[in-house]
Amino acid sequence: MYVSKNLDVNAEGHLTIGGLDTVSLAKEYGTPLYVMDEDLIREHCRSFKESIDRYYGGAGLACYASKAFSCKAIYKIMNEEGMGVDVVSGGELYTALKAGFPMDRVCFHGNNKTDDELALALENNVGRIVVDNIFELERLNEMAEKQGRTAKIMFRIKPGIDAHTHNFVRTGQIDSKVGFALETGEAFEAVKKAIALPHIELVGLHCHIGSQILDIDPFECAAEVMLHFIGKIKKELGYEIRDLNLGGGFGIKYTEGDNPVPYDSYMEKVSEKVKAVCAEEDIRLPYILIEPGRSIAAPAGITLYTVGGIKHIPNIRTYVSIDGGMCDNPRYILYQSEYEAVVANRAAEPRTESVTIAGKCCETGDLIGEGMPVQKIEVGDTLAILATGAYNYSMSSNYNRIPKPPVVMIKDGQSRVVVKRETLDDIIRNDVD
């Protein structure tokens, strides 16, 4: 009925998530409010893990890309589910550390990691540092030498495949700020160099071809390109690459128009391709890593708002103002992302109106969506925006000095706060008189 399967309507006609009444949740915790369904998050983790077991003999690891939604609670959940995690900054790494996440299952990404961030990763024996460029490689080797360690690294490769939602191009897409290019020989030179460096252990190669990808073809194509490169490294340098990280980007259903393939079919198809190309290249089957972010977190979350005002502009449009906006969900102003909206206290009724949902920030473009079908909507209603579990809280800001909403997690029909609501004093906590 809705884009996410954990949503329903109860006897009072209220929207429910994970079996709990969203109107009651809004009353109990206030709005704006992020609500995440832990049971669904865990189910997504299991489906990725099981697909690796079923189609690839368990020789791989699903790493949750924690930039999608990061807080201590989520790293605990990922640990309990036996997942790996990706981090992209010292802040995400520190949060994982403080949540007790095992560092050998961490991939550390980023195109410009600072010395402090690299030191934190080295000191804590992060399992895979994904090196983006030659300067980082040299710096990391020096830092590892000083610490008397060897850094385990992967290289971020641009495989020349650029995937978007409904199509992908196989160009030599080298115009990207991230990674080493294949076509120019840059990647091959970096591999040669890494093999020779005494404090670097090159364990694998990594690529990430896009986000919200709804097909499998681009992933198969990327795997093929990467494995031919691994074959070349073996043939010409006699060096065997152990790990192949195929990145994330698995699409989700934001609106009825999105039709993502079931997650386990990614591994089914990609495993076949990997086995075929490995046989052709006469190389060992690599240990495979995949990095789902959005697909784990997004469908599990919703955001609840209270409607504060409505402006009907005749023959133009109707603005519905909510108590949040681009500060808690900047995806419309950034990408014109589409969402499904539901009047939570009137969820059983048909969606007869079409409205523009406006945020409260001082910015004309601060909208959650335009032409959004909703039920009859009135001031005081609770409005739910669906599938906001990824790239909402993690991209939230304090623009206009608006405190960030709390995150409430639901498990087995019980709700609990995993991130507290910011207070006005939180807003000024770093201000110096």
Ligand X SMILES: *Cc1c(COP(=O)(O)O)cnc(C)c1O
Binding residues for ligand X, rule: CB under 6 A, are 65, 67-68, 86, 109, 208, 211, 247-250, 291-295
Residue nearest to ligand X (CB): 293
- Smaller CB distance to ligand X: residue 247 or 260? 247
Rounded to a whole number of angstroms, the CA Rg of the chain reads 23
For the bound state, the minimum distance from the C-beta of residue 141 to ligand X, rounded and expressed in Å, comes to: 22
Write the CA distances from 150 to 115, 193, 238, 302, integer angstroms: 16, 15, 21, 43
For the bound state, the minimum distance from the C-beta of residue 293 to ligand X, rounded and expressed in Å, comes to: 3
Catalytic (active-site) positions:
362
The burial of 39, by beta-carbon neighbours within 10 Å (0-12 exposed, 13-18 middle, 19 or more buried), is given as middle
Sign of CA dihedral 421, 423, 426, 431: positive
3-state secondary structure 380-422: CCEEEEECCCCCCHHHCCCHHHCCCCCEEEEECCEEEEEECCC
**Token pair of 365, please?**
């473009």
For the bound state, the minimum distance from the C-beta of residue 426 to ligand X, rounded and expressed in Å, comes to: 27
For the bound state, the minimum distance from the C-beta of residue 313 to ligand X, rounded and expressed in Å, comes to: 36
For the bound state, the minimum distance from the C-beta of residue 250 to ligand X, rounded and expressed in Å, comes to: 6
Report the distance separating Cα 272 and Cα 261, nearest Å. 17
For the bound state, the minimum distance from the C-beta of residue 113 to ligand X, rounded and expressed in Å, comes to: 13
Report the distance separating Cα 88 and Cα 183, nearest Å. 26
CA 334 to chain centre: 16
Report the distance separating Cα 244 and Cα 281, nearest Å. 15
- Smaller CB distance to ligand X: residue 14 or 208? 208
Q: What pairing do the DSSP bridges indicate for beta strands 7-9 and 243-245?
A: unpaired
The burial of 396, by beta-carbon neighbours within 10 Å (0-12 exposed, 13-18 middle, 19 or more buried), is given as buried
- Smaller CB distance to ligand X: residue 248 or 359? 248
Q: Facing residues of 200 across strands?
A: 151
Query: Which bin fits 188, alpha (ψ -120 to 50), beta or left (φ > 0)?
Result: alpha
- Smaller CB distance to ligand X: residue 245 or 382? 245
**Token pair of 93, please?**
């790494």
- Smaller CB distance to ligand X: residue 217 or 281? 217
- Smaller CB distance to ligand X: residue 212 or 321? 212
**Token pair of 161, please?**
């495949």
| Residue at token pair 């961030």 | 117
CB 130 within 8 A of CB 206: yes
- Smaller CB distance to ligand X: residue 67 or 152? 67
- Smaller CB distance to ligand X: residue 68 or 93? 68
- Smaller CB distance to ligand X: residue 224 or 291? 291
Coil vs helix vs strand at 144: helix
- Dmax (CA) for the chain in angstroms is 72
CB 281 within 8 A of CB 227: yes
3-state secondary structure 175-241: CCCCCEECCCCHHHHHHHHHHHCCCEEEEEEECCCCCCECCCHHHHHHHHHHHHHHHHHHHHHCCCC
Q: How many helices (H) and strands (E) does the chain have?
A: 12, 23
For the bound state, the minimum distance from the C-beta of residue 381 to ligand X, rounded and expressed in Å, comes to: 31
Q: Facing residues of 154 across strands?
A: 130, 204
For the bound state, the minimum distance from the C-beta of residue 403 to ligand X, rounded and expressed in Å, comes to: 26
For the bound state, the minimum distance from the C-beta of residue 277 to ligand X, rounded and expressed in Å, comes to: 21
